[in-house]
Chains A and B, each alone.
Chain A
């Protein structure tokens, strides 16, 4: 199981509290985790990635193990701590504004 921390607005949309867990077949990557999240919570489609291009939205960031994974190619394997469930994969609304 992959642990995922969603930002507050997306937890509200998905009707969840706290962390969520998703199961990923095969290699755990950003793409696989986000596919699993969107399949389980269809209301989140288009909020993290563009519907058509699947590009990360500009003010969304992906963190794990104190690293910014946002700019990694989406098929890069996630850190072993994330795939082992020891660390969560964080979807973060970027700091912006004043």
Chain B
């Protein structure tokens, strides 16, 4: 029987939420890696039993955990992330040069086709790849060294590479997003990179149309249409129809175009979800109402989805990696909050219910649709 496995990373451990395809009754696991920050867990599209988890604390650093049985058991994998060569400097918050320094893994992106190949986006921003099931990691230094790296500056959360999108039709084409540098693309499997930011406009930088310096929060792609990208930027929801060569704003009638996550419906490439947040200084939903906004037109026209979500006194945030969709019909949509709730919709967002209400602050949500 088909089912769904929701992988939830939190400030104090990971949780696995499971249901059959009806998505009405859920089992919530005991905490995995209890007490550790789990920035992200991800399953291999090529082998759903293969999972990876990024586990860290300020005390004991970074670990990578791997499961080969769908999360029943885990073993530590390789945790050595060494920048290639002499990494040089980027800009610090005060504008002074600051040595590149590994802090943590923000995001893991398994290959579409090979369970042993997985990418890791790290802070300070760099992209690593493992081709041996996370035992060893090697940086793809062309990104950091492409020319603008010395001018990159950290966002408020650190200088993190938080989004990795691999083109399912061409594994040599990869998009990454960095706060606060922007979005970059490679067409040769990570050897060379260039910023793809034309059309982005950011008020928080001196040259609002600069090639780098934009605080991109998240990018989403529908696998059937890899040239179309949707972006939630610090402010503005953006769309590209030419693989990032140019972007246009599609914020339309959103109550606020600030936010973190963005996701695309599994069967409808022009159906997009965002969670508007009041502002960069007030990280909670406008008017205390938790509303997912859905566009069925690829942006511009948005409708509020409220049924089952708190519509008063709600002041949680939804972080960039904390929204995902399943691929069942109809599409399930899931998101987690900094208040520890994980909400699910089994009807493309028309109605919502919490799977669980009282987890630690949710950092990431991924979904596996199981055969």
Contact = CB atoms under 8 A, between A and B. Distances in A.
Q: Do A and B come from one complex?
A: yes
A57 to B, nearest CB: 6
B58 A96 contact: yes
Interface stretch (B74-82, B158-166, B318-326): B74-82
Given A9-B35, A9-B36, A57 B60 contact: yes
A75 to B, nearest CB: 23
A72 interface: no
A52 B80 CA distance: 9
B82 A47 contact: no
A77 B82 CA distance: 31
Contact of B57 (A9, A43, A46): A9
Contacts of B57: 9
A13 B63 contact: yes
A79 interface: no
Contact of B59 (A45, A52, A60): A60
Chain B interface mostly helix, strand, loop or mixed?
A: loop
Interface residues of B, number: 13
B58 A47 contact: no
A59 B79 contact: no
A48 B79 CA distance: 13
Interface in B214-229: none
A46 B59 contact: no
A93 interface: yes
B99 interface: no
Contacts of A60: 59-60
Interface string A80-94: 000000000000011
